[in-house]
Every structure is written in C-alpha cells, then in structure tokens.
Amino acid sequence: MSDSPEQDYDPGDVAIIGMSLRAPGARTKEQFWHNLIHGRESVSILDKDDIHVDETLIHSPFYVPACGVLDTYDKFDPSVFGISDRMAAAMTPENRLFLESAWESLEDGGYDPDRVEGEVGIYGANNAQTAALYSSPPDRVSVGPEAMEAGAAWSPDTMTSNALYYMGLRGEAVTLAAVCAGFHYSVHMACQSLLLGQIDMAIAGGAMVRLPHPRGHLWEENRILSKDGHCRPFDANGTGTVLSSGVVTVLLKPLAEAVKDRDHIYTVVKGSAVNNNGVSAVAYGMAQPERLSACIANAMQVGGVTPDTVSMYEANALGLPMTDELEVHAANMAFGKTTGTTSIGGVKGNVGHGGVVSGGFGAIKAAMALYHKKLPATINLTEVNEDIGFPGTPFVPQSGTADWETESGIRRAGITSIGGGGYNAHLVLEEPPNAAERGPESEGRPRLATLSALDDEALAAQRARLKDWLVAHPELRLDDICFSLNLGRKVMDRRWAAVVRSRAELIAALSDDAPRGLATETAAAPQANVDSFQRNDNGILPSGNDGQALSELAAAWVTGQRVDFASLHPEEASHRVPLPTYPFRPRRFWRTNW
C-alpha cells in the first residue's frame, strides 16, 4: 500500500474507525485484547448462591454451573442521554448496553454526536427472548404517551432507533434478527448502505444478555453446550461451548472518506457475505459445508481477495468435534488449493458463546490482531482432533500467541459466524493502510486541551483516565490529542481546560497536584471578558493562537461559552486518535413487571 494520501482506494473498502466492547472479563476492547494475548479464560464457574434458577435444576447431575458473566448487565447511566429513571428501568438491558456502546464507538472514532454532519445509520442485532424474560410487554390498550414510551423502551425492534434518537443523530435505524450470526449481518447491511451512498457513517453491532443472569446450562450428549464448563475449539476432548453475554459495536466509514477525514483506522472491511442453508441433507440448524463454503468464498470474491493472502481464520468453533469438523471442511473447500498458510483460532475458548454478539467477539479479536500484528493463542486446545484433518489444508491451529508474519506481504483475516436456522456469514478484514508521511510536530507551540462531563466526579475520572492513557501511549502527538478532544467529545456543563506546550505539560495539568495556573475548570474558573471575542454561528473565536489568547478562550469556555473549536485547527493535518471515552457512572435499573 502506498503512503500517499492521494492513493486511489478500492471503492468497496470500508474502514472501521471506532470500536466498543463489553465481554466477560473485559469492560473495554483493550482489556479484551490483553486477556486474549495472555491466554486468559473469562468463563466463570458459579457458586450455587449466584445461580438464579430453580433449585431442582441446580442439583441435576447434568447441570453445568458455568457461563460468561457480564458484570454490568443490569446497570446504566441514563443521565448522559437525558433519559429519566422511569424510562431507564423500562428499557431492556440490551437496549441500554447497545446505547452506551454505540456512544463509545462514536467517541472512540473521534466524533461528537452534536457535531456530526450527514446521515448516520445504526444497525444492530439482539435477542428477542431477553425482552420477554426481562418483563411483560407493555399494555397496548392505550396508545397515549406513557404507553408509547414504555413500548419504545421495551421493544427489541427499537434498540437501534433508540440509539439514533438519544444520541441526537439522523439516519437509518435497523434492528435485525439473524440469531447467532446477528453481528455479522449488521455489519454486512451497514457496509451495503455505506457503499450505496445512503448514509455517511454507520454504527453496527449487537447486544446479548442471557436472563436470568448468571446461570449455567444442562449438558446433553452431542449438543453444543459443554460438559465440563470449558470450550475447547478443535480439541479431541471438546464437548461444546458455554453461554455468555456481551455487546460489540463498530463505527464504519468508506475507506477513502476515512483517509481524507484523517480518521484513525483500526482495520478495513474488504468483503462480507451472508446466506442461508435452506433445505439440505444436514440437520436443520447445523452447518451445511457447501453453503458455508459458498458464503466464505463469496466474501473473498466481493473483496477481490485471494485465499493465499488470508493468513488468519477466526472460526465459529463451538468446541464440539462434529461442528468444528464441518466448519473446517467448509473453509477448506472455500480456500481451495491455496499455497498459503492460515492460522486458525476460536475466541469462544476465552469468552464462551455470546449468541448474536459472538461474531462480534471474533471480529474484535481479528481487528485487534491486525492492528497489533499479533496472533493470540487458541486456549484450551491441548490435543488437536485428528478427525478434523488439518494436514492437507492451509489451516494451522494457533496454539500460542505469536507475532503475525505473513507470506503474502499483507495481513488479512476471515471471520465466520454461524447461526441456528441455517444462517451463515463471513467477513474479510485487512490491516489498515500505511499512514501518510507527516512532518514533525511544532515544538513549544501552545495548544488548548479540553474535557467536559455532567458533574465534577465524572470530570475528575476523565482527567485520571486521560492521564493514564497518555502515559501508556507515548507515541501520541499533542496536536492530535488536542484535535481529538476539542472536536470529538460532546460538550457538557462541567468543564476543564489547559493551555499546554508539550505532552509532559498536559500530563502534569491532568494530575491531582497540577501546577497552579496550568489548568482551569468550571468549579474555579477565572472571570473572562466574553464581550471582547468575535463570534460566528458556531460560537466565539480565538483572538490568536498564542498562550494568552488561548488562556482567555479557555476561561470563557469553562464558564459556559460556546466555542468554535474548528477555528483552533485551521489547515492543520491533525488526526483523530483513540482516547478514553466518557466515564459512564452506571446505576442498577431493573423491572420484572409493569
């Protein structure tokens, strides 16, 4: 790939520019990745007191007290979205989790919902059963405001429209059902709308909360749920998977537009494909090799990708020998007589089977692997199932974490998701394009950095998180950091600002013992002569770019003035970079009847 910003990109390429994840054992995608590369299993073996099911079921000899627990499944921060506590309690847990995750993806991409231009589509999959188990449907005898509000909160269909509405965006909203292939179907539909020009950006993903939560499962021979509470992909002793919950969303934009807009690109969606088995000789709900193979091959064909360039295959891999054999057979048919070698793995060993979001766990694993150029180990794989017949195929089980070397010169990953009812889906991801050459950052130039939150406690949490992030990421440039903070975060009532000339000064300003005068915030803001500023439709304008002018602008902003932040970065080549997202302060909301 060329380093030139004028490069012509494939018009079918879509960039992933923001990501959000909550999974068992991981509140963020960074925690998730850390767990993967260190081979950690996040499936919990539950105490009987923690299992909210019938007592007789717990004592069954076939009951397996294991699941992937989602710590915040019952909590939510409605204040960020202007949602009342009554509405928050009526919303299903999947509605709430998806809304927060969509916000995080947008912020991770460096976009403030209040300043987003154009149409944003939101596509998401959920589990209709969760709504039924959470509470009874609202009373439809009335169609008054309260009944309509309750229906919008409770309905699985309104998950994406709620996210669009409460984030203040305009565009498409599509909530879909494709069982365990739901995440992939959401991304597939989002990419189609983007490439057709129907929208400018898209948020796609899925949310799954298994209720009651947490709970185990009953083991049945030759079914997909594990006998011992562990998922063992491709292992001769595998007995199936474990159920889990989670939420994953990604922010998407056509690659050429993302490069032009100086977005941070995690990975590129080269191709996607979906199909269904329909009538086949294989039992209904099981993988049908010929149809799954066609789906995988179609995704590669759509992206103009040859199998020898796909060096990572993230399998559906339920850890049941029969289903793993069928999937590898299908993938081998799709790859054909390739001369390349492909690492094969399965994330369900780490986090279990997340239903509609399970493909999202695999996609985030692959995206982070591409971004970090590292292949995580497939855990719980101690004795490869010889019946799968890996010899003679391009696939080599990834038994340990390793640097990702590639024979083709480019890193690509294929991610398969299979759903009961014959749903097949496949994504092909590619490493991000090489960054364009950039000149050195101007040393000693004063810059304005801003943060805001709903209250002082959340503002303090933002300062602490940003400080830790900057210490952990010394490669980030000050101009990019300030650009991303000033233009990529929603402006709230409690504010903090600092005029700094280096990363070190910014880190010092964020500290609890910051040098006097280095930073200012709403709680102790100096007086500002707001009448001295020029204004346009977007707010007040800086009187200059020197330290004094920026300090005066900071003082005006922290006391509630609207600022045209775009005027701080005219004709700059600053890039959006990932920074900590809003520190939600979730409270428990639960409702089991109306």
357-393 per-position pLDDT tens digit: 999 999 999 999 999 999 999 999 999 999 999 999 9
Q: What are phi and psi of 310, to 5 degrees?
A: -95, 100
- In this predicted model, what pLDDT tens digit does every residue of 98-118 receive, in sequence order? 999 999 999 999 999 999 999
Q: How far apart are CA 426 and CA 181, in angstroms?
A: 9
- Report the pLDDT value the prediction gives residue 142, as an integer from 0 to 100: 74
- Report the pLDDT value the prediction gives residue 6, as an integer from 0 to 100: 53
Q: Are 40 and 26 in contact, with CB atoms under 8 Å apart?
A: no
Tell whether the model's pLDDT for residue 506 goes beyond 50. Answer: yes
Classify residue 321 as exposed, middle or buried by CB count within 10 Å of its CB (0-12, 13-18, 19+).
buried
Q: How confident is the model at residue 137 (pLDDT cuts 50, 70, 90)?
A: confident
Q: How confident is the model at residue 592 (pLDDT cuts 50, 70, 90)?
A: low
Tokens 């009944």 locate to: 147
Among 24, 423, 18, 427, residue whose Cα is nearest residue 258: 18
Cβ neighbours around 4 below 10 Å, total: 11
- Report the pLDDT value the prediction gives residue 4, as an integer from 0 to 100: 42
Residues 6+ apart with CB under 8 A from 91: 76, 83, 153, 154, 162, 589
Looking from the CA of 433 toward its CB, the CA atoms found within 13 Å total: 27
Mean pLDDT of 303-330: 97
Q: Are 487 and 107 in contact, with CB atoms under 8 Å apart?
A: no
Mean pLDDT of 475-489: 97
Structure tokens at 192: 């189609």
- Report the pLDDT value the prediction gives residue 5, as an integer from 0 to 100: 46
- Report the pLDDT value the prediction gives residue 280, as an integer from 0 to 100: 79
- Of 14-23, 368-377, 451-460, 530-539, which gets the smallest average pLDDT? 530-539
Mean pLDDT of 63-83: 96
Tokens 């923690």 locate to: 50
- Report the pLDDT value the prediction gives residue 3, as an integer from 0 to 100: 40
17: left (phi over 0), alpha (psi -120 to 50) or beta: alpha
Classify residue 49 as exposed, middle or buried by CB count within 10 Å of its CB (0-12, 13-18, 19+).
exposed
The total number of residues written for the chain in this structure: 594
Q: What is the DSSP string of 119-150?
A: -EEEEEE--HHHHHHHSPPPP-S--SHHHHHH
- Report the pLDDT value the prediction gives residue 510, as an integer from 0 to 100: 96
Structure tokens at 537: 């439709």
Looking from the CA of 152 toward its CB, the CA atoms found within 13 Å total: 18
Rg, C-alpha atoms of the chain: 25
Residue 18, beta-bridge partner list: 251
Mean pLDDT of 29-40: 98
- Report the pLDDT value the prediction gives residue 594, as an integer from 0 to 100: 40
Query: Quick check: bond before 212 cis, omega within 30?
Result: yes
Among 98, 77, 80, 211, residue whose Cα is nearest residue 157: 98
- Mapping DSSP onto H, E and C, the string for 172-227 reads CEEEECCHHHHHHHHHHHHHHHHHCCCCCEEEEEEEECCCCCCCCEECCCCCCECC
Round the average pLDDT of the chain to a whole number and report it: 93
Mean pLDDT of 578-594: 87
Provide the percentage of residues in the chain whose pLDDT is more than 70: 98
Residue 448, beta-bridge partner list: 499
Structure tokens at 81: 């979205």
Domains of the chain: 14-274+287-339+348-430 (3.40.47.10), 464-568 (3.30.70)
Q: Are 590 and 77 in contact, with CB atoms under 8 Å apart?
A: no
Q: Are 514 and 473 in contact, with CB atoms under 8 Å apart?
A: no
Q: How confident is the model at residue 544 (pLDDT cuts 50, 70, 90)?
A: confident
Provide the percentage of residues in the chain whose pLDDT is more than 90: 81
Among 308, 305, 307, 326, residue whose Cα is nearest residue 316: 326
- In this predicted model, what pLDDT tens digit does every residue of 138-174 receive, in sequence order? 777 777 777 888 889 999 999 999 999 999 999 999 9
